């Protein structure tokens, strides 16, 4: 099981998530990094051994221009990035896919449910980016799917089925209500259900991981990877802990 570190960007700083209530996010205080500047956090994560990093560009998700200069900084610090910048159209996905720093590209482009008005945008994104590079994020809050009008009335399972039909091969399961709350992910039942839908689907769990026990629980539920932020910065999880999950 892979552990993917997380950087939440807001106003040019790395912030600590809190139940998806973005107005409450504050600059992170970390046992790994000296301050909340993106370069400081990136260097600390890389030094600790966490190279693959999921970046939630919260300003871009809210409609601002992607933080290209910060992505460049993070990549120059040695991180391989999965970026969610609030994609709503295939043209935006193509722009993200073409971004390079020293001939290195973003490792993955994330299409979040909360930014997509309907399933119609997802298939063109898969074609534009490639279904091994695109990751669909099944965004939830307290178990309820977050999405535009075109998704209304669909259950999490139904949305996952639609995404698979659109060509998705990699999927994040993220309950924003659990982010930064230290209560565990709580998405294990849904992850088990998704595993039965398609044994080859790459499932990445996010939100609420607080310990090695939580990671083992997600691994047992069929997850291939997990997104972790607060537990790393609070010293509750170390690179040595995470290494024990690799098979």
* pLDDT tens, N- to C-terminus, the chain (247 residues): 999 999 999 999 999 866 556 677 788 888 889 999 999 999 999 999 999 999 999 999 999 999 999 999 999 999 999 999 999 999 999 999 999 999 999 999 999 999 999 999 999 999 999 999 999 999 998 889 998 899 999 999 999 999 999 999 999 999 887 765 666 778 999 999 999 999 999 999 988 888 899 999 999 999 999 999 888 988 888 888 888 886 4
Domain 2-243 belongs to what topology? TIM Barrel (3.20.20)
* Domain residue extents for the chain: 2-243
- pTM of the predicted structure, to 2 decimals: 0.94
HSE value, Cβ hemisphere, 13 Å, CA-based, for 230: 20
Spatial separation of the C-alpha atoms in residues 73 and 46, rounded to whole Å: 13
Give the SS3 label for residue 121: helix
Query: What own/partner pairs with CB < 8 Å and gap ≥ 24 does 128-134 have?
Result: 128/90, 128/93, 128/94, 128/97, 129/93, 129/94, 129/96, 129/97, 131/167, 131/168, 131/169, 131/170, 132/169, 132/170, 133/97, 133/107, 133/108, 133/109, 134/93, 134/108, 134/109, 134/110, 134/168, 134/170
């Amino acid at each position: 099981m892979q552990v993917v570190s997380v950087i939440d960007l807001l106003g040019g700083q790395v912030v600590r998530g809190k139940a998806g209530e973005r107005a409450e996010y504050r600059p992170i205080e970390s046992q790994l990094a000296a301050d909340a500047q993106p370069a400081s956090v990136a260097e600390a994560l890389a030094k600790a051994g966490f190279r693959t990093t999921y970046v939630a560009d919260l300003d871009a998700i809210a409609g601002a221009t992607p933080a290209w200069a910060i992505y460049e900084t993070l990549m120059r610090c040695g991180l391989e990035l999965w970026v969610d910048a609030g994609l709503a159209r295939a043209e935006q996905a193509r722009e993200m896919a073409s971004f390079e720093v020293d001939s290195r590209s973003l490792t993955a482009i994330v299409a979040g449910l909360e930014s997509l008005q309907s399933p119609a945008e997802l298939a063109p994104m898969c074609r534009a980016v490639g279904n091994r590079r695109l990751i669909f994020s099944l965004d939830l809050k307290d178990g309820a799917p977050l999405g535009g009008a075109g998704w209304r009335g669909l259950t999490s399972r139904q949305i996952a089925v639609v995404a698979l039909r659109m060509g998705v091969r990699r999927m994040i399961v993220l309950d924003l209500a659990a982010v930064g709350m230290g209560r565990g992910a709580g998405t294990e039942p849904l992850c088990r259900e998704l595993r039965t839908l398609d044994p080859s689907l790459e499932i990445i769990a996010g939100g609420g991981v607080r310990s090695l026990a939580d990671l083992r629980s997600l691994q047992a539920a069929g997850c291939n990877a997990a997104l972790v932020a607060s537990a790393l910065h609070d010293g509750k999880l170390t690179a040595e802990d995470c290494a024990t999950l690799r098979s």
